Chain A
Amino acid sequence: MKRVPDTEARLKIAGDGASIDPAGVKFILNPYDEFALEAALKHKESAGAGEVTAITVGTAEAAEALRTALAMGADQAVLLKSNGAVEGLAVAQAIAAELREADFDLALFGMKAIDDDLQAVGPMVAELLELPSATAVTEFSVLSGAVTAQRATEAGIEIIEVKMPCVLTVTKGAYEPRYASLKGIMAAKKKPVTEKEAAIGDAGARDTSLSYPPERKPGRIVGQGTDAVPELVRLLREEARVL
């Protein structure tokens, strides 16, 4: 689970020039992580047994994501504490270290986080734990120790069978996330959150500087209705040179 700036948030680059200033930014649970959590909860419900543990890596603020996950229905949560923001391989190493000690059938991840857009932590954890994996899963079922999952690829829907325990990353599909009910939010307060120091390694990559994308040149209304079409085509051909 990852706490990320809301999609609609206006982002300001912080004084260090290499991170985002969190002041005034609304944070949410990463939407793809909601799909993963929903998949976990659905799987538990259909199996009629098992526990769902939500895990995050980060500072004390990052644990907000865990509160949301507990309110949605996770049974317990683990905060792997770090001093600052960690991403990519460093996160994968911390989660792999935690899972190495754990007994689990399925490790579910959101396909990507909407802040760093790395789309990497799930398959990295699978590799570090030497587990089979499938990414970009839209729907899956479990039968006799194996997952049958659907993946969205350029060639169409891929049906893949994965032996458990395994890692899946989940994208939009069959798992429309539920809302946390008031009862769920109250119950979440009593659920256990374990805090541990994260085993943070070297991510092998770092942001050295952030900048704003070049402003798009102000566009123009070519005209109204079908009369404007020939002029649009001319502009695309002669000015933009894309036709």
Chain B
Amino acid sequence: MPGVFAFIEVREGQLRPISLEVLAAARQVADAQGDEVHALILGGAGSSAAAAQVGAHGADRIFVGESEALNRYSNEAYATIASEFIKDHGCRVAIFPPSSLGKDLAPRITARTGGGFAPDCTALEVNGGKLVVTRPRYAGKVISRMELTGEPAVVTIRANIFTPKEAAGAGEVQILEVSLDTADFGAVVKEIRASAAAKLDVGEASIIVSGGRGLREPENFRMLEELAEALGGAVGASRAVVDAGWRPHAEQVGQTGKTVSPQLYFAIGISGAVQHLAGMRTSRYIVAINKDPEAPIFKIADYGIVGDLFEIVPKLTEEVRKLRG
């Protein structure tokens, strides 16, 4: 049976949570067109440990390529293996995570296989044998329905849209033969300098606590970190505070930063410039805390509190901690 391709991202043998959302999307498409979900895991030694979890979340068949050459991501190696896999398995649809890896890999695979491409999809339907997707354009000012006429249809999903689901079957696991030499690669990762931001990426977090100029000093972000920790979320930042060097670019939300769509977004001491709204307007719920009742952020916020954030945020953290006990 042909497969819907699901790319499973692992890091150091650990399944990345976004991979379960990829599986949920793949399961949905596979059920719509009567296909199986064929999941591919690529990584270093020990990556097959992730297979059980993949099987428990909707994959019918799981394929694992384990090699030291695959331990660090190489777009050449990954594109070669995944493209051949997609052809061999007759996959009409291939789904990738919206991570830095997925965004690097999926376009290469589209070019190699001559398929059609759509990133950041919020809905996937099968219509007349073609994949029809819904995705935001112009930073969410417009929603596009796109028909993917090229085959395979290669897509990335938007984070926090497709809800992971446990499935009954265990999924059959198969190990792939991989013979690769990193010496043949034109691009080689030499080093990864882990950052604090690596804990929970703002692009994938389901709760984001963002701060802006209203925080007054970089040290005051400690307050937002505490709130984010209490909520199990990630800290985000406005462009102003990133440009000022208070926070790393990895945390920037908005144009020239990340586009996010969490369940819950706190904009704290952020006035709500168009460039910021471009990155977070599709959040499910937006909470604004600002001393200026005229701040544009209140126009798109679901809930707002007007007042001194230096008093409100610690109180909010305290209330959340009580709740989470």
Residues of A within 8 A of B (CB): 5, 7-8, 11, 13, 20, 31-32, 88-89, 92, 114-128, 131-136, 138, 148, 151-163, 166, 171-173, 202-213, 216-217, 219-226, 228-230, 232-233, 235-237, 240, 242-243
Contact with A along B127-142 (1 / 0, CB 8 A): 0000010001111111
- Bound-state Cα–Cα, A143 to B197, Å: 30
Any A CB within 8 A of the CB of B298: yes
Q: With A and B bound together, what is the CA distance between A162 and B186 in angstroms?
A: 6
Contacts A205-B150, A221-B293 hold; do A240 and B264 have CB atoms under 8 A apart? yes
Question: Which A residues are CB-close (under 8 A) to B316?
Answer: 229, 232-233
Tell me the dominant secondary structure on chain B's binding face. mixed
Of chain A, the residue at the smallest CB distance from B191 is A159
Distance (whole angstroms) from the CB of A198 to the closest CB of chain B: 17
Q: How far is the CB of A54 from chain B (nearest CB, A)?
A: 20
Q: Which residues of B contact A242 (CB under 8 A)?
A: 207, 263-264, 284-285
Check if B144 sits within 8 Å of A204, measured CB to CB: no
The answer, yes or no, to whether B198 is at the interface (CB within 8 Å) is: yes
Which of B46-54, B162-170, B213-221, B305-313 lines the interface with chain A? B305-313
List B contacts of A153 (CB < 8 A): 99-101, 192
Pick the residue among B116, B138, B301 that contacts A20 (CB under 8 A). Answer: B138
Assuming the A-B contacts A205-B118, A233-B320, are A135 and B198 also in contact, with contact meaning beta carbons closer than 8 angstroms in the complex? no
Q: B63 near A: Cβ within 8 Å?
A: no
Taking CB atoms and an 8 Å cut-off, the chain B residues in 167-220 that contact chain A are 185-195, 197-198, 201, 203-204, 207
Q: Of B100, B144, B315, B319, which is within 8 A of A151 by CB?
A: B100
Minimum C-beta distance from A230 to chain B (A): 6
Sampled A-B contacts (22; CB under 8 Å): A123-B75, A132-B187, A135-B100, A135-B103, A152-B250, A154-B204, A155-B11, A155-B194, A155-B198, A156-B198, A157-B192, A157-B195, A166-B186, A171-B256, A205-B153, A207-B144, A207-B145, A210-B137, A221-B305, A224-B305, A224-B306, A236-B303
Indicate if the CB atoms of A117 and B305 lie closer than 8 Å.
no
- Are A7 and B195 in contact (CB-based, < 8 A)? no
Chain A residues closer than 8 Å to B11, beta-carbon distance:
155
Q: Kindly report which residue of chain B lies nearest to residue A157, judged by CB atoms.
A: B193
The yes or no answer to B33 lying at the interface (CB within 8 A) is no
B111 touches A89 (CB 8 A): yes
Partner-binding segment picked from B24-32, B37-45, B85-93, B274-282: B274-282
User: A163-B187, A205-B150 known; A133 and B119 CB under 8 Å?
Assistant: no
Known: A126-B108, A127-B79, A128-B111. A233 touches B323 (CB 8 A): yes
Contact (Cβ within 8 A) A204 B117: yes
CA distance A228 to B137 in the complex (A): 36
CB <8 Å contact, B249 and A127: no
Known contacts being A123-B107, A127-B111, is A220 close to B255, with CB within 8 Å?
no
- A224 CA / B291 CA spacing, docked (Å): 9
A157 to B307, CA, bound (A): 37
Q: How far is the CB of A167 from chain B (nearest CB, A)?
A: 10
Chain B residues, Cβ within 8 Å of A118: 107, 117, 119
Query: Quick one: given A5-B138, A11-B141, A161-B187, are A236 and B112 in contact (CB under 8 Å)?
Result: no
Question: Binding site of A, secondary structure by majority: helix, strand, loop or mixed?
Answer: mixed
B104–A204 CB distance below 8 A: no
* Cα distance A157–B250 in the bound complex, in angstroms: 9
Q: A32-B256, A117-B259, A138-B249 are in contact. Are A229 and B319 (CB under 8 A)?
A: yes
| Distance from A133 Cβ to chain B, minimum over Cβ atoms (Å) | 6
Question: Which of A117, A212, A243 sits near B120, CB closer than 8 Å?
Answer: A117
Interface residue? B143 (CB, 8 A): yes
A13, A115, A216, A226: the one within 8 Å of B302 (CB): A216
**B residues 226-260 in Cβ contact with A at 8 Å:** 231, 249-250, 252, 255-257, 259
6 closest A-B pairs (Cβ-Cβ)? A204-B150, A132-B186, A204-B116, A120-B107, A127-B111, A225-B307
Please determine whether B305 and A223 come into contact, CB atoms closer than 8 angstroms.
yes
Given A204-B114, A228-B305, 12 additional A-B pairs, CB 8 A: A152-B250, A153-B100, A154-B197, A155-B192, A156-B194, A162-B187, A204-B110, A208-B147, A210-B142, A213-B281, A236-B285, A236-B287
Provide the bound-state CA to CA distance between A134 and B189, in Å: 10
Q: Is there an interface contact between B144 and A222, defined as CB atoms closer than 8 Å? A: no
From the candidates A5, A120, A206, A221, name the one contacting B149 in the complex (CB within 8 A). Answer: A206
Asked whether A133 lies within 8 Å of B187 as measured between CB atoms, the reply is yes
B35 touches A (CB below 8 Å): no
B142 and A211 contact, CB distance less than 8 A:
yes
Q: Which residues of B contact A92 (CB under 8 A)?
A: 111
- Bound-complex Cα distance A135 to B76 (A): 13
Determine the residue in chain A with the shortest Cβ distance to B262.
A242
